[in-house]
Structure 1
Amino acid sequence: MENPYWHPTIKPHAFDPDSVSEQCLKCFEPLSTSSSLGVFWESASEDEGLEESIWSYPTLVKLHQQCAELKLSSALLFLAISFRTLDDQRREDEGFREFVKNLETSFSNLHFYQGNGKTTLREACNKIVHATDVRPVYDNGSDRIEREVWGMDGQLELKGSLGGTNWAVNLNMFDFLEALLDVVQYVNDEIK
């Protein structure tokens, strides 16, 4: 048997569409769970004599709150690196370039509020990878003000610096995940 190292074809990193889809779902799950925490908050009625409301499942809620951002962060890093790698590999592929360009016309999910830069899918991935401060945005909605229930609203604030210049962006994670799933579909269609 010949040594596989000497195989004459180029061996790029693998882009695994199934793994990318799974990681998109891993991002979506804490986002959707977080935004629905209000259903686990019970208000005590005045007739019952209780002055405070309580969590109906406090241990589960606490576990979610402890793990959600970690799950989200690690899945986002995987997705950003996967897309960046695929984008680098397909730099000369006109069909892929055109697909990404068309995808980005509807991709308005990266907004700079400090510094400036491109608002492309690639740049969103760069910001995820290079951010030194990663903060999901939480909201308690006007109907939950008194309940102290905070859930992620799907926005992610990322801050960092490039060449000594600070930048800060807001990323709509739902749009980002949808765009990556469109890339997965494109790659899967090519495989068929």
Structure 2
Amino acid sequence: MRPHSLSTALITENAFQLVAWSAGAKEAQSHFVDSDDHGAFGATKPHYVYRLQTTISELLVVTATKIRILQDSLSKLIFDPGEMAKVDANVSGEHPSAYLTSSQVHLSIRETCNKIIHATSVAFVMRNAYGQTEEFAYWSEDLAGFWFSGEVRLKGENRGKEWEVLLNPAQFGVCIVDYINELESGHEIHRAWE
């Protein structure tokens, strides 16, 4: 049996884009003009922030979905599930990118991907020069001095219990780049498609 043929190069490309879109948001946003018109397009901060949110969300979902498919496929074909978990723990330990807000416990790559995929609420945390934060729902003139902080709050429910995770998409991108590199160089995942 053979798994989906996934391009790890495309997963890595998406991860690099997550880093670029997330980490450079404050500087990029400074090039756009303020506007409190919700329907404004063009070179406005609201248009940029809406595009930023859409792009990062899309990259998170695509990357998380592909990683989970890759993990499930590899653990059935060429890896002992314990070995897969060990690689995940090592890489996510070096590059923690998400944690449960209730316990401050950092999540593994697998857990982070599951939270991204199953989130029913996604809020981009905006910050200003005074350290105040707001969760972005829509643009208003009150957000004129705010920029994307680099953090996304995910919320959902699992078996009737609500959960909340704070995710750093740029750090998640770095984690995924390192994870793919480890799987390719240290664990020869190309064997799954031979």
Q: Does TM, scored on the shorter chain, surpass 0.5? A: yes
Look up the SS of the partner of 1:81 in the other structure.
helix
**Residues 137 and 157 in structure 1, CA contact (< 8 A), matched pair in contact too:** yes
Q: Give the CA deviation at 1:140.
A: 1.8
Q: Give the CA deviation at 1:134.
A: 0.8
Counterpart of 1:76 in structure 2 is 60
Alpha carbons of structure 1 residues 22 and 96: separation in structure 2 relative to 1, 3 Å: same
**Residues 159 and 167 in structure 1, CA contact (< 8 A), matched pair in contact too:** yes
1:134 pairs with 122, 132, 135, which one?
122
Unaligned segments of structure 2, at least 5 residues: 35-40, 133-141
Look up the SS of the partner of 1:142 in the other structure.
coil
Matched, 1:125 2:113: yes
Q: Give the CA deviation at 1:27.
A: 2.2
2:11 pairs with 20, 23, 27, which one?
20
Higher relative contact order (CA 8 A, sep 6+): 2
Alpha carbons of structure 1 residues 185 and 34: separation in structure 2 relative to 1, 3 Å: same
Q: Give the CA deviation at 1:111.
A: 1.7
CA distance in 1, matches of 2:171, 2:115: 15
**Residues 152 and 169 in structure 2, CA contact (< 8 A), matched pair in contact too:** yes
Alpha carbons of structure 1 residues 140 and 37: separation in structure 2 relative to 1, 3 Å: farther
Look up the SS of the partner of 2:43 in the other structure.
helix
Look up the SS of the partner of 2:75 in the other structure.
coil
Look up the SS of the partner of 2:101 in the other structure.
strand
Unaligned segments of structure 1, at least 5 residues: 1-9, 42-53
Q: Who wins on radius of gyration, i.e. which is larger?
A: 1
**Residues 19 and 171 in structure 2, CA contact (< 8 A), matched pair in contact too:** no
CA distance in 1, matches of 2:86, 2:143: 48
Counterpart of 2:100 in structure 1 is 112
Look up the SS of the partner of 1:108 in the other structure.
coil
**Residues 26 and 71 in structure 1, CA contact (< 8 A), matched pair in contact too:** no
What is the percentage of aligned positions where both structures have the same residue?
A: 21
- For residue 166 of structure 1, what is the amino acid of its counterpart? E
CA RMSD of aligned residues (A): 3.1
Matched, 1:184 2:180: yes
CA distance in 2, matches of 1:22, 1:14: 16
CA distance in 1, matches of 2:61, 2:100: 20
- For residue 122 of structure 2, what is the amino acid of its counterpart? V
**Residues 107 and 121 in structure 1, CA contact (< 8 A), matched pair in contact too:** no
Counterpart of 2:151 in structure 1 is 155
Alpha carbons of structure 1 residues 150 and 37: separation in structure 2 relative to 1, 3 Å: farther
CA distance in 1, matches of 2:43, 2:102: 37
Measured against aligned partners, the alpha-carbon deviations of 1:34-81 in whole angstroms (never above 9, x if no partner) come to: 21146437xxxxxxxxxxxx65xx932343223111111111000101
Counterpart of 2:170 in structure 1 is 174
Q: Give the CA deviation at 1:183.
A: 1.9
Matched, 1:86 2:82: no
Q: Give the CA deviation at 1:100.
A: 2.1
- For residue 163 of structure 1, what is the amino acid of its counterpart? R
CA distance in 1, matches of 2:27, 2:124: 15
Alpha carbons of structure 1 residues 121 and 164: separation in structure 2 relative to 1, 3 Å: same
